[in-house]
């Protein structure tokens, strides 16, 4: 049994972690931490858990004394807030999985440029592994102390583009990513932009040229493509609760058929339980509630562009599901333990 603690259990990503871990046969939730609801039952905040998980939430000041009870500490906190808890976990020799961005970027300068903040504990960057298992990082994930769990848009976008770069099929300065997210991606805290009246019956681009996920996507794609990649990433907010659709465009380097590209995608993802390379175009409703990522590709012969499209659930493959997938690898469990769920549709 893997014993876990969750800080930020009351946020959207945190409650999704709780949902999956609560029914994970090989994991046991030892404590859940909140900032605003200390002393209340978890099921008072998320009433779908009533009778199934009524444990009381503890405060951040109690975390240190509870670390002896767990094997791994999950953090689903605003940026910059996880690093001090990671330090506590490292001091106790406990593994840490951060759903935020505190250890995702390899360079302190890049972090400062995109997050307008300093890395809180840069001494741990070397110990953190970017936890996207489908990039063939399982050995590193298994042996590391800290998982920097990828962001939601980066997960969808990197998985869509990785086989093209691995096979050197595209011009590296030609990548454009047009991605759309449901509103839960913005978290549960009150913000005017997330109000029903602000986002219902409307769609908008935001963070154009400035979204911090650009750096994360560039970092990981540059490693696969073995050269520095700069790309255009434009996120959009759409009026649905969850889901990300990432539509990527890049210029092909050579004449290659759609069928040949599909063969390369199928080979790249042939042993990946959570990636489905599909012929139909991905839709968020078919991955909703799951840890799956659906991917399809099309070639536009007129422009010689390849369009790779992916769909994920931002809270699951884009956050909590991926974090549990990483935990499963770290603790030698089956990778799909507790995550073997299909979308309920309609």
Ligand X SMILES: CC(=O)N[C@@H](CCC(=O)OP(=O)(O)O)C(=O)O
* Residues annotated as part of the active site: 152
- Single out the segment in contact with ligand NDP by CB under 6 A; choices: 7-15, 86-94, 225-233, 255-263: 7-15
Place of tokens 């039952």: 41
For residue 192, how far is the Cα from the chain centroid? Answer: 24
Closest by Cα among 85, 93, 74, 46 to 149: 74
Nearer to ligand X, 148 or 308 (CB): 148
> By rule CB under 6 A, what count of residues binds ligand NDP?
29
327 makes contact, choosing from ligand NDP, ligand X, none, with CB < 5 to 8 Å by partner type, with none
- Single out the segment in contact with ligand NDP by CB under 6 A; choices: 111-119, 182-190, 202-210, 276-284: 182-190
Pairing of strands 72-75, 95-98: parallel
Enumerate residues 6+ apart whose C-beta is below 8 A from 191: none
Residues 162-191 that bind ligand X (CB under 6 A): 181, 185-186
Distance CA 226, CA 165 (A): 9
> By rule CB under 6 A, what count of residues binds ligand X?
9
The encoded tokens of residue 62 equal 């109690």
Nearer to ligand X, 231 or 261 (CB): 231
Helices (H), the chain: 12-22, 42-45, 63-66, 83-92, 108-115, 138-143, 152-166, 196-199, 213-225, 258-268, 321-330
Interface pick for ligand NDP out of 2, 13, 132, 247 (rule CB under 6 A): 13
234 makes contact, choosing from ligand X, ligand NDP, none, with CB < 5 to 8 Å by partner type, with none
The answer to whether 154 contacts ligand NDP (rule: CB under 6 A) is no
Interface pick for ligand X out of 6, 17, 32, 101 (rule CB under 6 A): 101
Asked if 84 and 63 count as a contact pair (C-beta separation under 8 A), the reply is no
The answer to whether 8 contacts ligand X (rule: CB under 6 A) is no
Interior/surface letters 171-183, b for 16+ CB within 10 angstroms, e for the rest: ebebbebbbbbbb
81 makes contact, choosing from ligand NDP, ligand X, none, with CB < 5 to 8 Å by partner type, with ligand NDP
Query: Using CB atoms, what's the residue nearest to ligand NDP?
Result: 11
Nearer to ligand NDP, 250 or 310 (CB): 310
The answer to whether 276 contacts ligand NDP (rule: CB under 6 A) is no
Enumerate residues 6+ apart whose C-beta is below 8 A from 76: 6, 7, 8, 9, 11, 13, 14, 17, 99, 100, 319, 320
189 makes contact, choosing from ligand NDP, ligand X, none, with CB < 5 to 8 Å by partner type, with ligand NDP
Q: What mask of x and - would describe binding to ligand NDP in positions 109 to 148, judged by CB under 6 A?
A: ----------------------------------------
Task: Measure Cα distances from 62 to 33, 119, 265, 302 in Å.
Answer: 9, 24, 47, 61
Q: What mask of x and - would describe binding to ligand X in positions 139 to 158, judged by CB under 6 A?
A: ------------xx------
Q: E strand or H helix at 250, and its extent?
A: strand 244-251
Q: What mask of x and - would describe binding to ligand NDP in positions 18 to 57, judged by CB under 6 A?
A: ----------------xxxx--------------------
Burial classification of residue 68, based on how many CB atoms lie within 10 Å of its CB (0-12 exposed, 13-18 middle, 19 or more buried): exposed
Q: Which residues pair with 96 in a beta bridge?
A: 73, 146
Binding site for ligand X (CB under 6 A): 100-101, 151-152, 181, 185-186, 235, 237
Binding site for ligand NDP (CB under 6 A): 8, 10-14, 34-37, 60, 76-79, 81, 99-100, 151-152, 184-185, 187-189, 314-315, 318-319
């Amino acid at each position: 049994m893997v014993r876990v603690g969750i800080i930020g259990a009351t946020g959207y990503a945190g409650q999704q972690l709780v949902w999956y871990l609560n029914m994970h046969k090989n994991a046991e939730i030892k404590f859940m931490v909140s900032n605003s609801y200390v002393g209340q039952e978890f099921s008072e905040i998320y009433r779908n858990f009533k009778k199934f998980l009524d444990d009381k939430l503890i405060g951040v000041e109690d975390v240190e004394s509870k670390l002896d009870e767990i094997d791994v500490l999950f953090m689903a906190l605003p940026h910059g807030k996880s690093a001090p808890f990671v330090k506590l976990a490292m001091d106790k020799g406990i593994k840490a999985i951060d759903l935020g961005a505190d250890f995702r970027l390899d360079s302190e300068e890049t972090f400062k440029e995109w997050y307008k903040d300093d890395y809180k504990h840069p001494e741990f960057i070397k110990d953190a592994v970017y936890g996207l298992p489908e990039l063939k990082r399982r050995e590193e994930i298994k042996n590391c102390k800290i998982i920097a769990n990828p962001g939601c848009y980066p997960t969808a976008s990197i998985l869509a583009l990785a086989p093209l770069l691995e096979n050197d099929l595209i011009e590296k300065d030609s990548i454009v990513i047009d991605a759309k997210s449901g509103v839960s991606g913005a978290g549960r805290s009150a913000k005017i932009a997330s109000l029903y009246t602000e986002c219902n019956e409307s769609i908008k681009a935001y963070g154009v040229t400035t979204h911090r996920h650009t750096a994360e996507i560039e970092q990981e794609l540059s490693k696969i493509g073995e050269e520095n990649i700069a790309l255009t990433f434009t996120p959009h907010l759409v009026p649905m609760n969850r889901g990300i659709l990432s539509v990527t465009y890049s210029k092909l380097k050579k004449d290659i058929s759609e069928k040949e590209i599909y063969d390369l995608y199928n080979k790249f993802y042939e042993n990946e339980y959570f990636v489905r390379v599909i012929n139909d175009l991905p839709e968020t409703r078919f991955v909703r509630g799951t840890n799956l990522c659906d991917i399809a590709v099309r070639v536009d012969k007129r422009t010689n562009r390849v369009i790779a499209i992916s769909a994920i659930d931002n809270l699951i493959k884009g956050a909590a599901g991926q974090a549990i997938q990483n935990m499963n690898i770290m603790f030698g469990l089956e990778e799909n333990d507790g995550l073997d769920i299909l979308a309920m549709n309609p």
